[in-house]
Amino acid sequence: MSADLTDVSPAHPAGSLSWLILLALAVGGFGIGTGEFVIMGLMPTIAADLAVTEPQVGHVISSYALGVVVGAPILAIFGARLYRRHLLLLLMVFFALGNLASALAPDYHSLLLARFVAGLPHGAYFGVAALVAASLVAPNKRAAAVSLVMLGLTLAILLGNPLATLLGQQIDWRYAFVAVAVIALLTVLLIALFLPLDRGVVRSNPLAELQAFRRIQVWYALGIGAIGFAGMFCVFSYLAVTLLEVTGVTPLVVPLAVATFGAGTLLGNLAGGWLFERLQFAAVGVVLLWSIGVLLLFPFAVQTLWSALLAAFLVGTMVALSPPLQTRLMDVAADAQTLAAASHHAAFNVANALGPWLGGLAIGAGLGWTVTGYVGALTAVAGLGLFLLSWQRQRRHPEELSPPV
């Protein structure tokens, strides 16, 4: 599956330059993905260095996620009047500064604050990047183009996070955030070089953007992402500790498991775009059913190394939910495209906060490290319920769908 970049909007460049634009946007996704998920591989290392528990480090993950939830709608609304090129540049500079602050954090509480700040530009960046990517291709290729931008995020899990985990284990976890800041600044350079200033794009009115939240299908899509996707984060957040405590591996195996999870996200990301092109909104239900099965399998699979690695790969494929939901929001948001696209990532980071929190509660109650699989399956079931409600409403009110943008 690939986006046909020979069929582009007249307002945007065609051919090789379009690929360079997607590359620049994907590099930003690579930096954000590495910064978001690296703590999960370094959880034991950070806990030991800051003299806190692993569940407390889980709160650092939730702090970043909360930053995304807060920052995505606010920055999308206030950035609506900016050209997309300018907004992307500002967001990546902001992200670089947040990660430098994380690297320099002297203690646990300052790290909590720094991760919150680093999370603020996350959702708005991916939202605007998805709109730029979708504008480069024909309407029926939008999900494929969005998945190419998100490829940077999945490659971060496959390559960036294992390398950053090794860097943190062998030298110091702080250098991982320095590396993320460097990638963010590289993204600034690439966007400045390749993404032209498109004065033909109509900039949004911030008040008009807020109208998206009056549409029930927008809330259904956001709810599916916030609840149905929490299971992946529930399992992945505690994957390193589960492997050490249950599977009995050495710390050097953790980067391999993270890379295996990343390979699953790579496949899932591409499969998600492919599924949406063929099944449209039904693709969301298919992915949620798959997720329930994978999460129920996880507690049994982590008892041995090889089955644990397979389970990590399968959990990674759950990211297939992202391209269909991102495109779905474009279809139901009417004129509030920037806010809706950014809110998609806010919803996924509600899942990023909810998953580790629910998993931590279950672990703290003495249910063991593998309980994350069962907790995650319950959230996927809840997400499936929201999908069915949205599907039913769509059949009754098809006029609520917007024309593709």
Number of structural domains (the chain) is: 1
Average of per-residue pLDDT values in the chain:
83
What pLDDT does residue 113 have? 94
91 pLDDT band (50/70/90 cuts)?
Answer: very high
And the tokens for 40? 């999960």
Residue 373 or 78, more confident: 373
Residue 186 lies in a domain: yes
How confident is the model over 174-198, as pLDDT tens digits? 998 999 999 999 999 999 998 887 7
Residue 10 lies in a domain: no
| Distance between CA atoms of residues 214 and 223, nearest Å | 14
- Name which of 289, 222, 294, 303 is nearest 261 in CA terms: 294
Range 344-351 average pLDDT: 82
How confident is the model over 250-277, as pLDDT tens digits? 887 887 888 888 889 888 988 888 888 8
pLDDT surpasses 60 at 242: yes
Range 308-316 average pLDDT: 93
The DSSP-derived string for 75-98 is HHHHTTTS-HHHHHHHHHHHHHHH
And the tokens for 397? 């009110």
Segments forming the whole domain that contains residue 273: 16-400
Residue 78 or 315, more confident: 315
Residue 6 lies in a domain: no
Burial (0-12, 13-18, 19+ Cβ within 10 Å), 246: middle
Question: Contact at 8 Å (CB) between 17 and 9?
Answer: no
pLDDT surpasses 90 at 380: yes
**Strands of 68-166, DSSP E:** none
Find all residues with CB under 8 Å of 355, minimum gap 6, and list them: 229, 230, 231, 232, 233, 234, 235, 236, 237, 375, 376, 379
What is the C-alpha radius of gyration for the chain, rounded to an integer number of angstroms? 20
Residue 290 lies in a domain: yes
What pLDDT does residue 16 have? 65
What pLDDT does residue 10 have? 38
Give the SS3 label for residue 339: helix
Give the SS3 label for residue 281: coil
Which of 16-30, 204-218, 259-273 comes out lowest in average pLDDT?
A: 204-218
Q: Domain holding 356: CATH number?
A: 1.20.1250.20
Question: Contact at 8 Å (CB) between 35 and 177?
Answer: yes
Burial (0-12, 13-18, 19+ Cβ within 10 Å), 217: buried
Residue 200 lies in a domain: yes
Residue 322 lies in a domain: yes
pLDDT surpasses 50 at 227: yes
What pLDDT does residue 388 have? 94
5 pLDDT band (50/70/90 cuts)?
Answer: very low
Give residue 10's identity as a one-letter amino acid code.
P
How confident is the model over 275-299, as pLDDT tens digits? 888 888 899 999 999 999 999 999 9
What pLDDT does residue 149 have? 76
What pLDDT does residue 208 have? 62
6 pLDDT band (50/70/90 cuts)?
Answer: very low
Percent of the chain beyond pLDDT 70?
Answer: 87
| Distance between CA atoms of residues 168 and 374, nearest Å | 30
Residue 388 lies in a domain: yes
What pLDDT does residue 63 have? 86
Which of 85-99, 109-123, 198-212 comes out lowest in average pLDDT?
A: 198-212
What pLDDT does residue 44 have? 80
How confident is the model over 40-74, as pLDDT tens digits? 778 888 888 888 877 788 788 888 888 888 888 88
| Distance between CA atoms of residues 109 and 388, nearest Å | 41
What pLDDT does residue 93 have? 95
What pLDDT does residue 314 have? 95
What pLDDT does residue 88 have? 92
Residue 405 lies in a domain: no
Residue 340 or 347, more confident: 347
Please state, in angstroms and as integers, the Cα–Cα distance from residue 44 to each residue in 173, 247, 367, following that order.
Answer: 11, 15, 20
Percent of the chain beyond pLDDT 90?
Answer: 30
